[in-house]
A and B are shown apart, each in its own frame.
Chain A
Amino acid sequence: MPAQAPRTLFDKIWAAHVVDTLPDGTALLYIDLHLTHEVTTPQAFEGLRAAGRKVRRPEATLAVVDHNIATDETRRTGIGDAESRLQVETLERNVSEFGVPYIPLLDDRQGIVHIIGPELGRSLPGMTIVCGDSHTSTHGAMGALAFGIGTSEVEHVLATQTLLQKPAKNMRVSVDGDLAFGCSAKDIVLAIIGKIGTAGGTGHVVEYAGDAIRALDMAGRMTVCNMSIEGGARAGMIAPDQTTFDYIARTPYGPKGEALEGALRWWRTLPSDEGARFDREVTLDAHAIAPQVTWGTSPEDVLPITGTVPDPDEAGDEARRAQLHRMMEYMGLQPGQRLQDLPVDVVFIGSCTNSRIEDIRAAAAVARGRKVAEGVRALVVPGSGLVKKQAEREGLDRILREAGFEWREAGCSMCLGMNPDKLKPGQRCASTSNRNFEGRQGQGGRTHLLSPAMAAAAALAGKLADVRDWQPKGTA
């Protein structure tokens, strides 16, 4: 047998899923796991119905509601907004008609689709995973090829369990060295996006590598992969290793016993081979990363918390200057303003980027024994019912509540202005979510993206703050 050229993690997973290749090189790619939620599926199920088609493999599909729902006690009494209610009811009707497994709103396992896939042990190494949601890249942290698709493609996967895809290019982002004091996975990924820009990964699948990535726990890896799309990448992934395998062993539905042994044998062959070729390489020094915060309306507009708002007139070309001026106006900022002086109205700790138990622990560690600043509304929204229960077992809800944070039910919440948790026009928010686009958290809302610990510090300070000045009490 001829020796095979060294391959990347992406190449291997891709090759293992090609069902057929069309004459022009387009692959028919097999999809192992299809996650669905209420917003991007109604038209897909409607399409199936109109064409008299079935869901090919309901058991490879999982549905949950997350975007539209309330995160307070009103979820028990029914969804107030008629359109949101119709969308949720439509999903419920579709899953029962097509036989798709569904986690209902009041189930303990309910949560944000990208939190529950890995948490339940459904998202596994070597898989192809899709969802009608751009943050599907999150599941790449498991060592899977996971990417977001549109509704037409959702319908295509439901009907055929495949997608028509052109291979992506390989890009490697290596982060080496020890992460500096006060920094977390969120700071790494914001720094990466600041470096490569929001279109930096277009057409590529990014593999995150380097010892700073290896050192992250699964939650941190998911945070990094989650924001791959904010760097324009089709997907982000991290090679599976012992950290991954230990995590899977603790999940309720992950393979066990003999099945796990078989799976492990394959999973261990997945990491990129020595000498594999990447079309693009980027490196960062972990130690040089300081706690990050975005100031503009694109995730690439990010600075260390010690920074000041830039001067648009110093930007190179006219289009960029115009864009910066618009951003400043929208964000209510002046050139030269210190980021640390910006008062916040709302703090949001949640979203598929940062709502795992580790994120809540990080926020609670900072909040413990302190108080949310007067006039600030601070929400903590666990990513799933299981995360919520775990946090309550650890007493984190009590610490946060005593500090003045709201402790909510699981859902997308204030990550996007689609459910009752919204910013009001002009409100400034320190948010652990992933997008700071105009109006993302509610019309006219002003978003600053940062890590959970930084968000907690902002809640206590009443303004953007350097978490290094807010170290946990009583643990020194």
Chain B
Amino acid sequence: MQAFTTLTGVAAPLPMANVDTDKIIPARFLKSISRTGFGQNLFYTLRFREDGAENPDFVLNQPAYRKAEVLIAFENFGCGSSREHAPWALLDFGIRCVIAPDFADIFHNNCFKNGILPVRLPREVCETLMDDARLGGNARLTVDLERQVVVRPSGEEIPFDVDPLRKHLLLNGLDDIGQTLQHAGAIDSFETRRKAEQPWLAG
């Protein structure tokens, strides 16, 4: 996994609540067996018209935002299906950070596993950042995970919270499995004990 330390980039405003993972990547594009290539279908129904042509009104199709690395949205971002294809599609497009008032749990988890930082900030702050983002290419945001701040184009710093373990893994680009396997002994003894106490679980 790619580490996330500090990112300075263009932020795209997506002033919508309840952006579900079917919207981020529709089911018909989930047939690939690899983790890459989903970016071209990111936000497919918003991004393309029925005839397949780009919808010029959609933010990521506007010249200023074609290389956006941050996305600003409203409540309950990433709700619905557990598909990790949603963060894969964001990542493949180039988005490394999503800022919203809150996120659906599974999506929030999935972001961390893929080097994407989801930042929770209150609605009013998201509205301010949304206004910054509307300024386009001239208004770059900085997201500094080490210091846990978002830096506005004005230089104002907005602190955010992040779970310490997740921060550590993300800063160092560490894979959870390696971390967990350090507990292999504890898993072994847990299994032995359970097998004796709850034989019907033996499977």
Q: Which residues of A contact B87 (CB under 8 A)?
A: 150
Q: Does A39 contact B (CB under 8 A)?
A: yes
A-binding segment of B59-67, B131-139, B145-153, B182-190: B182-190
Please determine whether A26 and B165 come into contact, CB atoms closer than 8 angstroms.
yes
How many Å from the CB of B38 to the closest CB on chain A? 11
- A30 lies within 8 A of B190 (CB): yes
Asked if B33 contacts A440 (CB within 8 A), the reply is no
What is the distance, in angstroms, from B124's C-beta to the closest C-beta of chain A? 13
Residue in contact with A266 in the complex, picked from B75, B84, B190, B198, CB distance below 8 Å: B198
**In the complex where A83-B31, A159-B181 touch, is A19 in contact with B187 (Cβ < 8 A)?**
yes
Whether A124 touches B34, Cβ cut-off 8 Å, given contacts A159-B177, A418-B27, is no
Please name all residues of chain A whose beta carbon is closer than 8 Å to the beta carbon of B184 when the two chains form the complex.
160
Query: Judging by beta carbons under 8 Å apart, are A162 and B187 in contact?
Result: yes
Q: Convert B184-203 into 0s and 1s, putting 1 for each residue whose CB lies closer than 8 angstroms to a CB of A.
A: 10110011001000111111
Which residues B27-45 have CB closer than 8 A to chain A? 27-28, 30-35, 45
Chain A residues with CB under 8 Å of chain B are: 19-20, 22, 24, 26, 28, 30, 32-33, 39-40, 42-43, 46, 51, 53, 56-57, 59-60, 67-68, 81, 83-84, 86-87, 90, 124, 127, 132-134, 148-153, 155-156, 159-162, 164, 166, 198-199, 202-203, 229, 232, 234, 255, 259-260, 262-263, 266, 298, 319-320, 323, 416-418, 425, 435, 437-440, 443-444
Given contacts A30-B190, A150-B113, A198-B18, contact A43 B106 (CB under 8 A): no
Give every chain B residue within 8 A of A418 (Cβ-Cβ): 27-28, 30-31
Contacts of A444 in B (CB 8 A): 50
Whole-angstrom CA separation of A403 from B20 in the bound complex: 36
Q: Are B75 and A199 in contact (CB under 8 A)?
A: yes
Q: Chain B interface (Cβ within 8 Å of chain A)?
A: 15-18, 20, 22-23, 26-28, 30-35, 45, 50, 74-76, 79-84, 87, 102, 104-106, 109-110, 113-114, 163-165, 176-177, 179-181, 183-184, 186-187, 190-191, 194, 198-203
* CB nearest neighbor in A for B46: A438
- Are B76 and A150 in touch, CB under 8 angstroms? no
- CB pair B28 A134 closer than 8 Å: no
Give 29 A-B contacts (CB < 8 Å), ordered by A residue.
A19-B186, A19-B190, A26-B165, A30-B190, A33-B203, A43-B35, A67-B27, A68-B31, A83-B32, A133-B82, A134-B80, A150-B113, A152-B176, A153-B110, A153-B113, A164-B165, A164-B176, A166-B163, A198-B18, A199-B102, A202-B76, A232-B104, A234-B106, A320-B17, A418-B27, A437-B20, A439-B22, A440-B27, A443-B45
Q: Which residues of B contact A152 (CB under 8 A)?
A: 84, 110, 113-114, 176
Complex CA distance for A70 and B16, rounded to whole angstroms: 35
Expressed in whole angstroms, the Cα–Cα distance for A68 and B10 within the complex equals 37
Q: Contact check, A202 vs B28: say whether CB atoms are below 8 A apart.
A: no
Min CB gap B99→A, angstroms: 16
- Selected from B15, B30, B180, B183, the residue in CB contact (under 8 A) with A39 is B30
Q: Which residues of B contact A425 (CB under 8 A)?
A: 50
Residues in B whose Cβ lies below 8 Å from that of A26: 163, 165
Tell me the minimal C-beta distance from B110 to chain A in angstroms: 4
B104 pairs with A443, CB closer than 8 A? no
Q: Evaluate contact between A57 and B203: CB separation under 8 angstroms.
A: yes
Interface contact B200-A155, CB-CB below 8 Å: no
In the complex, A56 Cα to B106 Cα: how many Å? Answer: 23
Q: List the B side residues contacting A32 at CB < 8 Å.
A: 201
Asked if A437 and B23 make an inter-chain contact with CB atoms under 8 angstroms apart, the answer reads yes
- Chain A residue at smallest Cβ distance from B1: A152
Q: Taking A150-B82, A199-B104 as given, write out 11 further A-B residue pairs in contact, using a Cβ cutoff of 8 Å, ordered by the A residue number.
A: A20-B183, A39-B31, A43-B84, A51-B177, A59-B203, A149-B109, A166-B163, A229-B80, A232-B79, A266-B198, A438-B22
The 10 A-B residue pairs with the shortest CB-CB distance in the complex, in nearest-first order = A152-B113, A42-B33, A83-B31, A255-B200, A150-B110, A150-B84, A148-B82, A151-B84, A199-B76, A59-B203
CB-CB nearest in chain A for B181 = A160
Closest B residue to A28 using CB positions: B183
Cβ of A320: which chain B residues have Cβ within 8 Å of it?
A: 17
Assuming A28-B186, A202-B76, is B31 touching A87 (CB within 8 A)? yes
Given that A199-B102, A259-B200, A263-B198 are contacting pairs, would A417 and B26 also be in contact in the complex, using a CB cutoff of 8 Å? yes
Looking at the complex, which one of B26, B84, B194 makes contact with A30 (CB distance below 8 Å)?
Answer: B194
Contact of A162 among B113, B165, B180 (CB under 8 A): B180
How many angstroms between the C-alpha atoms of A153 and B164 in the bound complex? Answer: 19
Q: Is the CB of A319 within 8 A of B201?
A: no
Q: Are B186 and A439 in contact (CB under 8 A)?
A: no
Kindly state the separation between the CA atoms of A42 and B88 in the bound complex, as whole angstroms: 14
Rounded to whole Å, the gap between the CB of B200 and the closest CB of chain A is 4
Contact (Cβ within 8 A) A24 B164? yes
A260 to B, closest residue via Cβ: B200
Contact, CB under 8 Å: A160 / B75: no
Closest chain A CB from B58 CB (angstroms) = 13
A149 — which chain B residues lie within 8 A by C-beta?
A: 82, 106, 109
CB-defined contacts of B200 to chain A, threshold 8 Å: 124, 255, 259-260, 262-263
